[in-house]
Amino acid sequence: MVPDPVGAGVVNSLARPGGNAIGLILFEYGLSAKWLELLKQIAPNVRRVAVMRDPAIAAGIGQYGAIQSTVPSFAVELTPVNVHDAGDIDSAVTEFASAPNGGLIVTASAPAAVHRKLIIALGGAPQAPRCLL
Specify if 109 maps to a domain: yes
> For the segment 57-87, what is each residue's pLDDT rounded down to a tens digit?
877 888 888 899 999 999 899 999 998 888 8
> For the segment 91-103, what is each residue's pLDDT rounded down to a tens digit?
988 888 888 999 9
Domain span at residue 94 reads 29-132
Specify if 117 maps to a domain: yes
Specify if 7 maps to a domain: no
- pLDDT computed for residue 25 by the predictor: 63
Specify if 38 maps to a domain: yes
Q: List CB contacts of 52: < 8 A, sequence separation 6 or more.
A: 81, 83, 89, 92, 93, 104, 105, 106, 107, 112, 119
If we measure between CA atoms, which residue out of 69, 79, 70 comes closest to residue 41? Answer: 70
Beta bridge partners of 103: 49, 131
Query: How many domains, in total, are found in the chain?
Result: 1
Specify if 12 maps to a domain: no
Specify if 3 maps to a domain: no
Where is pLDDT greater, at 22 or 106? 106
pTM of the model: 0.76
Beta bridge partners of 78: 49
Q: What is the CATH number of the domain that holds 68?
A: 3.40.50.2300
> For the segment 39-62, what is each residue's pLDDT rounded down to a tens digit?
999 999 999 999 999 888 877 888
